[in-house]
Structure 1
């Protein structure tokens, strides 16, 4: 391989092992990788781990809740960014495992880093992972977990922004869709609480609206809509807002005349509806930034755990409200 690439054996080793202590030019790296590809060379992961003293595996438990297009794009960018830093991303699909029990299962694979995309991991689980050799444990949830680096996502603020917008539009009888899909309460309950926080001290009321993600369920809700006396609804996210908007329109209820309607996530499809969908635009962290945090902690596992507030919320007012 060294002969084919026109470099020394040491240079081949530095490139294939992604040795950061030695500076290798990008053209040289490219020649080595092209030679490796031509020769069919595949690195031996276990041998690399022995040399480095740790693996290059980043384990990501599969989210226990349905994630929409917004989060899917974030996870795709994160995995791409980690692969660019020479990590192997493994998604773990342990059905029925939660909390510390899940942490023990993840630890068996000896990952160098674990990124937990929802709540459930506690301090004991973090300690189990670190004892097994995980240098970086990063949680993404509503609050910080002792011992882990944390990306804190405040979904209550999403609801507060939605409620404040509807109040500003003169609405006082607000409905809030709470999806019946299992697991979504980790997002929907804080959003409901945020709307209630927004109307505190006003004459506005908030009505909780359980809803399955089905046309039939939306039609049943729309059929009794006028009896609820609502003049606005925060529909949890854009997908539920689209589902409910069609059902309301089929029932002859004018949006926004009779009922203002607001979603969240700012999906492109919402701009194609008529009326165009008002929404809460969510700003997620860049996958690249999270990948760099993981890499930084792997290189310095003694670093003090960082906490970052990462979920920005901004209402985009369009025709539906």
Structure 2
């Protein structure tokens, strides 16, 4: 007779774990050495001095265009970037052109002009820095701009500068302070864009067409006074023109509200701030059953292409602006030889263009 054993069964011994040596991660590749001007010189087959002259845009040394191209291509291939601070110390100034930007759009015509100017300055080896100056006074703006040590400042007129502000910028190293606007500033180079002429041309055209009760559209959007105020003043200056200020926002609702009460205003013409406001209002007037130009002659400004595609085609004021290349060359001359660019330079001309809406 067999008897089962009640003795406890000893636990089985654990299997020994295999001990693996953790894999050693592969060493990280050493960072690539930062390319130097000597590397650029070797690749281009020129001296380091030549590299310096080319990349610093030195004008006192004559270097052929093929050599300049070789140096720039070698620098690009190696990823070599000149040290801005070191370059500024050698030259005694930066290559920064400060462009305080408007916080509101001024229309396609001026936006295209400013874009072209920036590209042209870049081709001249300047670094364009846009600076939002919303809410700054002249003194605050001048101090803030001066901290960046720009070689030139192009003020669009958003901030009203004084002779004291110009002196602050020049003490900080700005070799040229350039104002674009209706008036000049003592100590600065004045590149005048007289917006009053736009309003005067528009109102004179309407008066010649027998329309002297003229509504002048003034945008309700903040920040456009730099353009709208002188255009209104220009329209008011025309003999025989009886003008009435008409605030309007750039919305369908605002245009519809104005068109809805047009018959009560006793006006036979309208000069809008620009073509975009004119087109918006013209459509609203037509929706109210008013005939353009029979009941209301409509005049815009800036001569945008889309105005010619409307029916009736939009009469406008054609504005001739300088090319970005021309203005960039003026900035460059003002930086290199400040005494050469003096006084007032008129940059804009305006011509009324009659089409079907008047």
TM-score, normalised on structure 2?
Answer: 0.86
Q: C-alpha distance in 2, partners of 1:185/1:302?
A: 32
1:184 correspondence with 2:224: yes
Distance 2:171 2:87 in 1: 20
Tell me how far 1:286 sits from its aligned partner. 1.9
Deviation readout 1:190-214 (Å, 9 max, x if unpaired):
211211211x3x3x42121111111
1:235 to 261, 272, 275: 272
How far apart, in 2, do the equivalents of 1:56 and 1:158 lie? 35
What SS is found at the alignment partner of 1:264? coil
Aligned to 1:311: 348
Secondary structure of 1:31 counterpart: helix
For the pair 1:134 / 2:174, whether they are aligned, the reply is yes
Residue 195 of structure 1 pairs with residue 238 of structure 2:
no
* Unmatched 5+ stretches in structure 1: none
| Contact 2:317–2:351 (Cα < 8 Å) also in 1 | yes
Which moved further from structure 2: 136-145 or 11-20?
11-20
String of CA shifts for 1:68-97, please: whole Å, max 9, x gaps. Answer: 111111111111111111111100113321
Name the CA distance, whole Å, in 2 between partners of 1:99 and 1:66.
21
Call closer, same or farther: CA 1:150–1:27 in 2, change over 3 Å. same
2:195 to 155, 164, 169: 155
Q: Summarize the alignment of residues 1-321 of structure 1 with structure 2, pairs less than 5 Å apart.
A: 1-119=40-158, 120-198=160-238, 200=239, 202=240, 204-303=241-340, 305-321=342-358
How many residues are treated as equivalent by the alignment?
A: 318
Give the 3-state SS of the residue equivalent to 2:237 in structure 1.
helix
Contact 2:102–2:133 (CA under 8 A) maintained in structure 1:
no
Q: CA deviation at 1:8?
A: 2.3
Superposed displacement of residue 186, structure 1: 2.2
- Segments ≥4 residues shifted beyond 4 Å: none
Contact 2:322 2:348 in 1 (8 A): yes
Gaps of 5+ in 2: 1-39
- 1:173-203 Cα offsets, whole Å, 9 max, x none, are 21111111112122212211211211x3x3x
8 Å contact kept, 1:64–1:118: no
Q: Which has the higher contact order (CA 8 A, sep 6+)?
A: 1
Deviation at 1:247? 0.4
Cα distance in 1 between the residues matched to 2:185 and 2:293: 42
Following superposition, the deviation at residue 2 of structure 1 comes to 1.7
Q: Which moved more, 1:271-280 or 1:62-71?
A: 62-71
Q: Distance in 2 between matches of 1:8 and 1:184?
A: 53
* RMSD of Structure 2 on Structure 1 (CA): 1.3
Q: CA deviation at 1:64?
A: 4.2
Rounded Cα–Cα distance in structure 1 between residues aligned with 2:266 and 2:127: 54
TM-score normalised to structure 1 length: 0.96
What is the Cα deviation at residue 133 of structure 1?
Answer: 0.6
Whether the 8 Å contact between 1:147 and 1:305 is mirrored in structure 2 is no
Separation in structure 2 between the aligned mates of residue 141 and residue 236 of structure 1, nearest angstrom:
17
